[in-house]
Amino acid sequence: MAGFLPAPATPWPERRDRALADRTLRGAISRTTHHLAAQRREAYAGYPRGEELQEQALASRRAGVARLDELIATASRNVEARGGRVVRAAGPLDVARHVLDVARRRNALRVVKSKSMATEEIELNRRLEAGGLKVRETDLGEYIIQLAGEHPSHIIVPAAHKTRGQIRELFDAEARAVGTAPPADESTPALTAFARRQLREDFLRADIGISGGNYLVAETGTLVLITNEGNGRMSTTLPPVHIAVVGIDKVVASWADLGVLLQQAPLSGTGQRLTTYVSLISGPRRAGELDGPDEFHLVLLDNGRHELLDTEYADTLTCIRCGSCLNVCPVFRTVGGHAYGSVYSGPIGIVLTPLLGGLAQAAELPESACTLCHACRDACPMDIDLPQHILSLREREVTEGLTARSLDLTYEVWARLWASPAGYRSTTRLARLGQRAYVRNGTLGRVPGHLPPPGLLAGWLSTRDAPPVAAETFHEWWARTRGET
């Protein structure tokens, strides 16, 4: 039984074509991904220790995943010893129920959130709003996409697909809706100043702050947040209650492990040696402390992760969500994250979406959204074998009967025909005859959808040129020049 991920509303070809037709989106995504990939290259080139640290970090993550149950138990004990409350959540309903219970008990209405992919994964905002809470995203990118009614298009840059002009339009609309002054212009300082002004009020009035967690250090039960905006600290210290929703895979054994891991996500994701803020949270405010919440809740989210432990996909649990594989993927760089129809996009999204949400819901991703160029494998600091996982998911799609019957039939017939020399030669001759009407300038271009195999050939050639079957095949040339078959 997999966990839960929201199902896409439309099929992949529709989402892909919509993205391809949107030149603004393609420009924004291309600029962001090329910039981030270049930053990463420069960061590693100027920091020889980066590679060495990467190896240590990889070893720490693998060791942590291998002891996951033990580390979760240790972390939970230590959080509780410092006055925190620990809740194990099997899936989205458990998380929403817990937050709503706390809200009812505390008579809470307003929630501020810092960026968290775990809460995106389980559509926590929608569930809390259905329960009567007002939820405000406070990471700048998340705030933008919340106003746009969208989900993140990149793991670390949620509004990577938006231009400054589009952001200004969203902020202008928000200013009209709440009766405040719009941004002065569409410069970055003007846009961030508007967001800061709006969000300040939300922080001050919030009853509950919700965060994710980049790591959870088992030996002390310390939650670690790495961010480039101050919103993480505001969300976790100003409201009287802090609830952290953290995937069980984020647990690491010790501070020594954390020391080598802290740099990996910024180095690989944004090309920074360290993020602007590193927040270490060890429970609620204690006697004598000035800042911090009265209550701290750690919600450990499973949602299909634990069952990956003893499978060939266990290395996906070491993912640190750095986004590096997205930035080098030719498909992601062209269509952006929304085309994937999942909060997790790019190569890691192709793998995680079916693993967490079920293959039946997302079989189209491994099948169609990957060129198997292996760039993601080279970019991943955790050495996750993404191409192999994608191949394995494609294989499972066939063995679990999730491919279209017409496709299965096509390959079956094709395999039978080409299993004999006579079948191979006769189909080659037929194809040579049949292709005549569609060869232009030496290449085979678009063909009508009814040509056999139905839909498959037309679909393949709708976005590619292919060489036509040669006027003389190798076998025919051999027979003509050697007089032998």
Burial label, 9 (beta-carbon count in 10 A; 0-12, 13-18, 19+): exposed
Q: Kindly compute the dihedral angle of the four CA atoms of residues 201, 202, 205, 208, in this order, to the nearest 10 degrees.
A: -160
- What letter does residue 111 receive in the DSSP assignment? E
Interface pick for ligand SF4 out of 29, 234, 322, 447 (rule CB under 6 A): 322
Interaction between residue 267 and ligand SF4 (CB under 6 A): no
Cα 39 to Cα 37: distance, rounded to the nearest angstrom: 5
Binding-residue pattern over the window 331 to 360 for ligand SF4, x denoting contact by CB under 6 A: -----------------x------------
Shortest spacing between CB 351 and ligand SF4, in angstroms: 8
CB 195 within 8 Å of CB 142: no
Beta pairing class for 134-137 and 110-113: parallel
Interface pick for ligand SF4 out of 125, 270, 324, 361 (rule CB under 6 A): 324
Residue among 236 and 270 whose Cβ is closer to ligand SF4: 270
Residue among 208 and 322 whose Cβ is closer to ligand SF4: 322
Interface pick for ligand SF4 out of 365, 382, 402, 457 (rule CB under 6 A): 382
Binding-residue pattern over the window 203 to 232 for ligand SF4, x denoting contact by CB under 6 A: ------------------------------
DSSP string, 373-395: --HHHHH-TT---HHHHHHHHHH
Shortest spacing between CB 239 and ligand SF4, in angstroms: 30
Q: How many CB atoms lie within 10 A of CB 151?
A: 20
Binding-residue pattern over the window 301 to 320 for ligand SF4, x denoting contact by CB under 6 A: ------------------xx
Shortest spacing between CB 324 and ligand SF4, in angstroms: 4
Interaction between residue 152 and ligand SF4 (CB under 6 A): no
Interface pick for ligand SF4 out of 191, 339, 369, 384 (rule CB under 6 A): 384
Q: Which of residues 56-75 bind ligand SF4 (CB under 6 A)?
A: none
Residue among 54 and 78 whose Cβ is closer to ligand SF4: 54
Residue among 141 and 323 whose Cβ is closer to ligand SF4: 323
The backbone torsions φ and ψ at residue 239, rounded to the nearest 5 degrees and listed phi first, read: -70, 155
Q: Which residue has the tokens 């927040």?
A: 279
Interface pick for ligand SF4 out of 321, 333, 338, 389 (rule CB under 6 A): 321
Q: Which residue has the tokens 């002065």?
A: 184
Shortest spacing between CB 364 and ligand SF4, in angstroms: 20
The residue range among 23-31, 145-153, 160-168, 374-382 that interacts with ligand SF4, by the rule CB under 6 A, is 374-382
- What letter does residue 124 receive in the DSSP assignment? H
Shortest spacing between CB 410 and ligand SF4, in angstroms: 33
Beta pairing class for 277-281 and 222-227: antiparallel
Tell me how far apart the terminal alpha carbons of the chain are, to the nearest angstrom: 55
Residue among 76 and 316 whose Cβ is closer to ligand SF4: 316
Shortest spacing between CB 355 and ligand SF4, in angstroms: 12
Helix (H) / strand (E) containing 54: helix 49-66
Burial label, 228 (beta-carbon count in 10 A; 0-12, 13-18, 19+): middle
Residue among 42 and 294 whose Cβ is closer to ligand SF4: 42
Interaction between residue 379 and ligand SF4 (CB under 6 A): yes
Q: Which of 18, 10, 13, 19 is nearest to 449 (CA)?
A: 13
The residue range among 52-60, 107-115, 380-388, 470-478 that interacts with ligand SF4, by the rule CB under 6 A, is 380-388
Shortest spacing between CB 57 and ligand SF4, in angstroms: 10
Cα 335 to Cα 402: distance, rounded to the nearest angstrom: 25
Q: How many CB atoms lie within 10 A of CB 3?
A: 21
Cα 195 to Cα 183: distance, rounded to the nearest angstrom: 9
Residue among 356 and 380 whose Cβ is closer to ligand SF4: 380
Shortest spacing between CB 36 and ligand SF4, in angstroms: 11
- What letter does residue 318 receive in the DSSP assignment? G
Report residue 358 CA to chain centroid gap: 15
Q: Which residues bind ligand SF4 (CB under 6 A)?
A: 155, 268, 319-325, 348, 379-382, 384
